[in-house]
């Protein structure tokens, strides 16, 4: 059966000290009460090595929020997939709408990042999702399919096993507007169908598809009850350990 996952995306929040404090608090909470799902925390680059060391003997896995689309060399300020891997991180989030929008990451650039991340043995949380305008025009399915086709559907079936999909409707990110569980389930089922068309029903069935966008402890149980929603990618509510734990508990 596919994995249930609750993943945090801290985005550009927390100094190193604040991040270590948050990871420590979460580690203690989860040591006292084992989670019923995989727990991942996505942190800024500067936290990765310290937080990976801190959680190495516990249930928490660590993710980067990005990596470069080049392997190494004269790319000032960039951080490669190999560097991410060397910190002890297991995952990298790629394709987040904030990266697509503010840093102009195209499907081609994301494809390069995905290939480099997988080559280094990282697992990828690949984000897709439509804008409000696209949702109002009924284009959400076409947008999601095109984002998958543009950056990840070239992978081999073996590589695909290292992919987690996160459906994050842009209109629901940080807005307090969650997709209803029905809206989310509808598109998650569609995404799984698209995966099945490329990789077959069995692999599609093993693919974890997370929902992201104003997910919190109060709406997570309803979302996670849906058959094609395998967990969440959490922004704001991952910044406080009790809030994040509240979402993890939705799997209880
Ligand atoms: P919020 O949970 O703050 O809406 O952010 C969702 C998100 O973008 C996670 O990647």
168 in active site = yes
The pLDDT value given to residue 35: 97
Q: pTM to 2 decimals?
A: 0.98
- The verdict on the CB of residue 232 being under 6 Å from ligand 1 is no
pLDDT for residue 178 is more than 90:
no
215 CB within 6 A, ligand 1: yes
Q: What is the pLDDT of residue 152?
A: 98
* Ligand 1 pocket: which of 126, 173, 217 to mutate (most atoms within 8 A of CB): 173
Quick one: DSSP state of residue 89? -
What residue's CA is closest to ligand 1, atom 2? 235
Mean pLDDT of 187-198: 98
96 tagged catalytic:
yes
pLDDT of residue 177: 85
Instruction: Check pocket membership of 179 for ligand 1, CB cut-off 6 A.
Output: no
Distance (Å) from CA 74 to ligand 1 centroid: 32
Q: What SS3 class is residue 169?
A: coil
Cα dihedral across residues 205, 211, 217, 222: positive or negative: negative
Catalytic residue among 4, 96, 98, 147: 96
Distance (Å, whole) CA 84 – CA 94: 13
pLDDT of residue 149: 98
């Amino acid at each position: 059966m596919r994995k249930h996952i609750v993943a945090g995306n801290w985005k550009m929040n927390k100094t190193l000290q604040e991040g270590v404090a948050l990871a420590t608090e979460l580690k203690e909470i989860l040591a006292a009460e084992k989670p019923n799902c995989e727990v991942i925390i996505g942190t800024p680059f500067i936290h990765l090595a310290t937080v990976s060391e801190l959680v190495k003997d516990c249930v928490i896995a660590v993710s980067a929020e990005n990596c470069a689309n080049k392997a190494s060399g004269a790319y000032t300020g960039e951080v490669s997939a190999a560097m991410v891997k060397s910190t002890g991180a297991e995952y990298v989030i790629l394709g987040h709408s904030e990266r697509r929008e503010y840093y102009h990451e195209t499907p081609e650039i994301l494809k390069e990042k995905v290939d480099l991340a997988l080559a280094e043995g990282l697992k990828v949380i690949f984000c897709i999702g439509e804008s409000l305008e696209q949702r109002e025009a009924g284009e959400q399915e076409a947008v999601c399919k095109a984002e998958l086709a543009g950056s990840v559907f070239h992978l081999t079936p073996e590589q695909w096993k290292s992919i987690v999909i996160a459906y994050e409707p842009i209109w629901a990110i940080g807005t307090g507007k969650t997709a209803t569980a029905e809206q989310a389930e509808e598109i998650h089922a569609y995404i799984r169908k698209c995966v099945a068309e490329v990789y077959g029903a069995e692999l599609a069935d093993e693919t974890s598809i997370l929902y992201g966008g104003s997910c919190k402890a109060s709406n997570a149980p309803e979302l996670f009850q849906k058959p094609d929603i395998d967990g969440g990618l959490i922004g704001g509510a991952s910044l406080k350990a009790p809030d994040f734990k509240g979402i993890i508990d939705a799997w209880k």
